[in-house]
Amino acid sequence: MSGEWKVVTPREVTAQEGLCAQIPCQYSYPSHLANHPWVGVWFNTEKQIPWAPLAFHSEDHNLGSLRLHHRTGLSGDLNDGDCSLIINSIRQQDAGPFYFRIEFDNSMSHNYYPVIQFHVSDFTDKPTIFPAGIIAGKCVDISCTFSTTCDGTAPAVTWVNAADVHGSVSNSVTQHGVTLTYTSVLTLIPSLKHHGQTLTCRVSYPSVSSERTLTLTVHFTIEYAAIALSGSAFQIITTPVASGYLANHLKSMPYGYQPFCPWEPFLLNYSINIILNTSVKSPFLLCSKENNMQLHQSGNG
């Protein structure tokens, strides 16, 4: 565009409260005014009136209204015909009409119509949690991310944990193009008591916040448990198992009594199968257990 009064803007723009927004704007003016100094002004009103609220002034930023003070700026260069307006930390009160105006030093000015209707919606964006395989006794990293194109006010990404879920947190920010991704990594060592508990990741701006909750599913592994047949009783003879659960629960059972796998009290969502193996020289029991992740079985002859 060049050589005449023209503007290209959308008729409406909608943004979420607490985030940022861009009102795209491309403009031109008559070429005979090219050598005259000028300023660009954005108004937050329907039409020009005395003492109309200024959203942005390209020469004196202090002339903006108190409500929008230090929250507006240009995303491009007015000298390149780019008058796009940025609004940071959006508030519900920011909703309303906006229009751009150019003012020359020879008292000539021009209002670029039609106005743009700016709408503010509720803050609905939520962080994303990337759960990892959670195994009792093993260190795990659980990541929470929130992406935005706003580079004004940075969000705070925090964890809200159950009282007995303790861990360390590290935060980082990465940028790909115009997108900023805020990441918080929670590192912890879960135990079976954490199964069914919740972790909540919260993203907060000065005026709004949102969160996402993860329910922990804690899995477990057991290496093996050998159970030998001796006379009239079954006896556990070795117990090298994860977390040492079996080591503290040696048991014996009368022959003919319904046997059970000794780690039964510690299983979550499990099934138990016990087989008396008599096909080898030294009979033994083969215990197998299954949780909702995978099947493990144990036996030793």
Could you read off the pLDDT of 141-168 as tens digits, one per residue?
999 999 998 888 899 999 987 666 788 9
Chain centroid, CA 237 distance in Å: 49
Quote the pLDDT of residue 221. 63
pLDDT given at position 61: 78
Q: What is the pTM of this model?
A: 0.68
**What is the average per-residue pLDDT within 275-299?**
38
CA distance linking residue 274 with residue 299, whole number of Å: 10
| Type of residue found at 10 | P
Retrieve residue 8's tokens.
């290209």
- Rounded average pLDDT over 2-19: 91
Q: CA 145, CA 185: separation in Å to the nearest integer? A: 9
pLDDT for 247 beyond 60: no
The predicted-structure confidence for 21-75, as pLDDT tens digits, reads as follows 999 999 999 988 888 899 999 999 987 776 778 899 999 877 777 788 889 999 8
Residue 8 has pLDDT above 60, yes or no: yes
- Residue 20 scores a pLDDT above 50: yes
Residue 3 has pLDDT above 60, yes or no: yes
Burial of 76 (0-12, 13-18, 19+ CB in 10 A): middle
Radius of gyration of the chain (CA): 33
pLDDT band at 208 (very low <50, low <70, confident <90, very high): very high
pLDDT of residue 220: 73
| DSSP states along 212-266 | EEEE---B------EEEEETTEEEEEE---GGGTGGG---EEETTS----TTGGG
What is the average pLDDT across 264-280? 37
Is residue 174 very low, low, confident or very high in pLDDT (cuts 50, 70, 90)? very high
Q: pLDDT for 219-243, tens place per residue?
A: 876 544 444 444 444 443 333 333 3
For the chain, domains (ranges, CATH) are: 6-121 (2.60.40.10), 128-215 (2.60.40.10), 226-298 (no CATH)
The pLDDT tens digits for 83-138 are: 999 999 999 999 999 999 999 987 789 999 999 999 999 999 999 998 778 888 88
pLDDT given for residue 284 in this prediction: 39
Note the pLDDT of residue 265: 40
